[in-house]
Amino acid sequence: MRLRSVSLGVVASLLVVIAVAVSARSFAAPSGVPAWLQAHIGDSDGQISQIVLERARALYRKKVAEGAVRNPCYFAMDATRPSDLGNGVLGRRYYVICEASQSFRAISSGHGSGRNLKGVVDFSNGRRCAKNFGNAMDSSLTAGGGYMTSEAKTSFKGYYRTGAKQNAVFQRTFIQFDGEGEAANARQRVIGGHAAQVLHGMCLRKNPNSSHADHDGFVPFGKLVDYAGGRSNGCTSWSPADAKQIIPMVKDNPTTLYIYPESRDIAAVAANRSRSGAYWNASCLKEIGTPKFWPRKTLEPIIAQYRKDHPAPPPQPVPICQGS
């Protein structure tokens, strides 16, 4: 009887060990995620954190099931990670996942700059890490949640001088996003994706033969600036090289984008700095302290009042370019 009792005790102990092992394995590798994709789960640069993948994958599978998406690829972004790793190295926190072809790419992407309404409220973000998030109009903040890519619009921005001293046309394609939940006003906010390039120092140059010339024969001219290592007005911005690959993937073929964190995640981290049960990139959390979500119902009246109290100066005419 004693031998049987000991034997049953050993068996019971082994069952507990096996159950714990299975539980740990299930936590480390979400069920249904193929092995090749599980290998990319992690919190290091170039990897995707588990909660971000789970939510991005769930959003994509839902839209596929609804018939809204036929694109074999989907996107995700982890805005809690650093944008700038130093020494000119950009953090890879935007993910392009194509399960059918077993393809996973991690690239850089900007986050919303926010704004500093001096003397009133400061909800601005640094270049490296984002502390402030929100969905208010004119806030220039990133709002987490589920999105779908929509129409592509290519706009003429002006001319610039190339390294070969030639004048070139700068056109930028903008992919409109349509959001859900707290991100439902993405279209009203003009939130989307585009290359992180802009023309600065604009002036007008005579070029009557250009199809872009105004009625007086002038075209806008500026300096082409690449701000892939900087911030955006709340949009998802990619390096020019990455934009050339991403934009054709979704042009006339919509897919999903999940951006982390949502307001619930920010609240969980803010309420529990030990981060038990809540995910945030460790290096950025140490740098920013406590993150904050600014809901539109709170922030939009403040922005509107600030605009009323600080009216913008009347627009000035674009100057004529000097020199050749």
* CATH assignment of the domain containing 63: 2.40.440.10
For 308, the token pair is 């009323």
Query: Residues near 82 by Cβ (< 8 Å), separated by ≥ 6?
Result: 91, 93, 128, 129, 281, 283, 284
According to the model, what pLDDT value does residue 2 have? 42
Domain assignment present for residue 147? The answer is yes
Peptide bond before residue 291 is cis, with ω within 30 degrees of 0: no
- The distance in angstroms from the start CA to the end CA of the chain is 102
Contacts of range 246-251, beta carbons closer than 8 Å, 24 or more positions apart: 246/96, 246/193, 247/152, 247/173, 247/175, 247/193, 249/71, 249/73, 249/96, 250/71, 250/149, 250/152, 250/175, 251/152, 251/175
Give CA–CA dist 109/236, Å, rounded.
6
Domain that holds residue 131: 29-309
Cα–Cα distances (Å) from 128 to 52, 82, 115, 264, in that order, read 20, 5, 16, 23
Determine phi and psi for 285, rounding to 5 degrees: -65, -40
Residue 131 near residue 288, CB atoms below 8 Å: yes
Give CA–CA dist 316/193, Å, rounded.
29
Domain assignment present for residue 320? The answer is no
Q: How many structural domains is the chain composed of?
A: 1
Tens of pLDDT, residue by residue, the chain (324 residues): 443 444 444 333 333 333 333 333 333 445 689 999 999 999 999 999 999 999 999 999 999 999 999 999 999 999 999 999 988 899 999 999 999 999 999 999 999 999 999 999 999 999 999 999 999 999 999 999 999 999 999 999 999 999 888 999 999 999 999 999 999 999 999 999 999 999 999 999 999 999 999 999 999 999 999 988 778 888 999 999 999 999 999 999 999 999 999 999 999 999 876 555 689 999 999 999 999 999 999 999 999 999 999 999 999 999 999 876
According to the model, what pLDDT value does residue 164 have? 85
Query: What pairs with residue 226 in β-bridges?
Result: 197
Residue among 105, 201, 100, 97 at smallest CA distance from 157: 201
Element (H, E) at 309: helix 296-309
In the numeric block, the tokens 């906010």 are attached to 189
pTM here is 0.87
Domain assignment present for residue 17? The answer is no
Domain assignment present for residue 275? The answer is yes
The residue type of 203 is C
Give CA–CA dist 79/263, Å, rounded.
12
According to the model, what pLDDT value does residue 231 have? 87
Domain assignment present for residue 322? The answer is no
Domain assignment present for residue 146? The answer is yes
